[in-house]
Structure 1
Amino acid sequence: MKIRIDKMLSNSGFGSRKEIKTDAKKGFIEVNGAIEKNSSRIIDTDVDIVKYNGETVKYTPFIYLMMNKPSGVVSATEDNYDKTVIDLLQDEERFYKPFPVGRLDKDSEGLLLITNDGKLAHDLLSPKKHVDKTYYVEVAEEVTEDDVKAFEEGVVLKEDNYKTLPAKLEIIESGYPSICLVTIKEGKFHQVKRMFEAVNNEVTYLKRISMGPLKLDETLKTGQYRHLTENETDSLLMTRGRG
């Protein structure tokens, strides 16, 4: 397969194209035993031997997909009862054995990252990384400034008495129902729904609109997906850091 060095290394999880370009200039990349400082050089993965910082790179292409998850589909690779988000992919994407990064509830919609990059998935979901996730939410009862303050301070979830990290609650429309945006830094089971339960409210509609630097492409209809652009992929790789 013929591919640019920076794209090959980026797809293999070694960093963003910008980072790889910098490393190439520092002499970290070898092609067939010779230092290669031009990261945009096209190589043949079936013939050329590429080393990064002394490590031989075995190219296994990563894929990065953005899906507008529909309601009624589960965020899993397989399920005995329900259709999964992987079932919505074409064979050419399923070939790479991708998986959803994190979960959206069966009845929730919106942004879902699907990839086979395990390190990226781990870093995006790690509590230590505090990656922001923003949701468009409709709730049955009126949302108040007291709720905004409660979310900022962290609320205690029912059942397990877990106190959430501070979250941002932005009221878009107050009434019955209310519309708001919620940004959290963690991903507990049914967290947004349970946070509203903690302030005696009920989520009636939930849609994730962003995860870290990645924003939902509003031109995607529910159930549709597309490959990330190079800029979107780079922004995620830079968010996770290296190592």
Structure 2
Amino acid sequence: MRLDKFLAEAGVGSRKEVKLLLKKNLVTVNEQPVKDGKLHIDEYQDIVLFAGERVIYQKFYYYLLHKPQGVVSATEDARDQTVIDLLKEEDYRTDLFPVGRLDKDTEGLLLLTNDGQLAHRLLSPKKHVDKEYFAEIEGLVTEEDVQIFASGFALTNDEQVKPSKLLIDEINEANQTSKIRLVIQEGKFHQVKRMFEAVDKRVVYLKRLRMGSLVLDEQLPLGAYRPLTETELQEL
């Protein structure tokens, strides 16, 4: 691998920034100063130091984030804080992105990665990856709703949604509210909210609990994140 590509992928800086850093004699390969970014190295065997610290090569990064409300699922936004903004400086990389989107007011599990192939497999409708949500609903969810969701139906704009699994956790008749879990395999715009609107109910709180085999770590506070464990990554 070219040295400039190695340094860029390791998060030292952009290709342009790396070029300048090389000129400043800040990089050594096997104890030898190197200014030429075109130099080919063995990314796993050669010892590369930047400003005296070893640069370890890692191609892909995976972070499990407990997304809070008020943060948008994007890499950059002119008005709002993004999920990428929640990363510590030492974990920030320009190629990280959220896998899919959670609405600004939705909490829960979000995967951040730079692995485009994995993201595609998790998001492709053809892969039938489950996405499980917990929701608090204004209105009483009924067994009739369960059957409607199980059959698949048309939203208010006639857009069709596939069959899903609706589980009723709690009904509060006094307050006319419900607590449910919903498993879908799609990711249409505001899908969960629109599904309940179609049966004359309103989502007042929404949280994603699971995506495929990846389950939200309840030990993670809102806004916190951690790398995936080796087991989680293998299961994905």
TM-score range, shorter chain: 0.7 to 0.9
Instruction: Output the TM-score relative to the length of structure 1.
Output: 0.73
For 1:84 and 1:46, the matched residues in 2 are separated by 36
Asked if 2 retains the 8 angstrom alpha-carbon contact of 1:63 and 1:96, the reply is no
Which residue is 2:70 aligned to?
72
Root mean square deviation of aligned Cα: 1.6
Q: CA deviation at 1:163?
A: 1.4
Question: Any idea what SS the aligned residue of 1:174 has?
Answer: strand
- Counterpart of 1:92 in 2: which secondary structure? coil
SS at 2:64 equivalent: strand
Q: Which amino acid aligns with 1:45?
A: Y
Deviation at 1:92, TM superposition (A): 2.1
Partner of 1:115: 113
State the AA in 2 paired with 1:88.
Answer: L
| Counterpart AA for 1:78 | E
- SS at structure 2 position matched to 1:84: coil
Alignment equivalent of 2:145, drawn from 137, 147, 157: 147
**2:105 pairs with 1:89:** no
> What TM-score results when the alignment is normalised by the length of structure 2?
0.75
98, 105, 111: which is aligned to 2:96?
A: 98
Higher gyration radius (CA): 2
- Deviation at 1:174? 1.5
Match of 1:112, SS state, is: strand
Q: Over residues 1-60 of structure 1, what are the superposed CA-to-partner deviations in whole Å (9 max), with x where a residue is unaligned?
A: xxxxxxxxxxxxxxxxxxxxxxxxxxxxxxxxxxxxxxxxxx961449xxxxxxxxxx75
Q: Secondary structure at the match of 1:94?
A: coil
1:199 aligns with 2:179: no
CA distance in 2 between partners of 1:224 and 1:60 (Å): 22
Q: Distance in 2 between matches of 1:220 and 1:90?
A: 15
User: In structure 1, how many angstroms separate the alpha carbons of the residues matched to 2:44 and 2:79?
Assistant: 41
Aligned partner of 2:20 in structure 1 is: none
- The share of aligned pairs that are identical, in percent, is 56
In structure 1, C-alpha distance between the alignment counterparts of 2:43 and 2:83, rounded to whole Å: 33
Amino acid across the alignment from 2:164? A
Q: Which residue of 2 aligns with 1:189?
A: 189
Give CA deviations for 1:131-169 in whole Å, capped at 9, x if unaligned: 00000010100000000000000121122x111110000
Q: Which residue of 2 aligns with 1:180?
A: 180
Correspondent of 1:164 among 138, 161, 164: 161
> Helix, strand or coil for the counterpart of 2:201?
coil
Corresponding position of 2:44: 45
Q: Give how far 1:75 is off.
A: 0.3
Distance 1:229 1:84 in 2: 24
What one-letter code is carried by the residue in structure 2 that aligns with 1:210?
A: R
Q: Which residue of 1 aligns with 2:129?
A: 131
Counterpart-to-counterpart distance in 2, 1:126 and 1:165: 14
Whole-angstrom distance in 1 between the partners of 2:43 and 2:195: 51
In 1, the alpha carbon distance for the partners of 2:204 and 2:149 equals: 18
CA distance in 2, matches of 1:116, 1:123: 13
Corresponding residue SS for 2:139: coil
Instruction: Give 1:221's aligned residue.
Output: 221
Moved over 2 A (4+): none
Report if aligned partners of 1:144, 1:174 keep a CA contact under 8 Å in 2.
no
SS of the residue 2:72 aligns to: coil
Q: Distance in 2 between matches of 1:206 and 1:185?
A: 16
| SS of the residue 2:129 aligns to | coil
Question: Counterparts of 1:197 and 1:152 in 2: how far apart (Å)?
Answer: 16
Is contact 1:158-1:198 (8 Å) kept?
yes
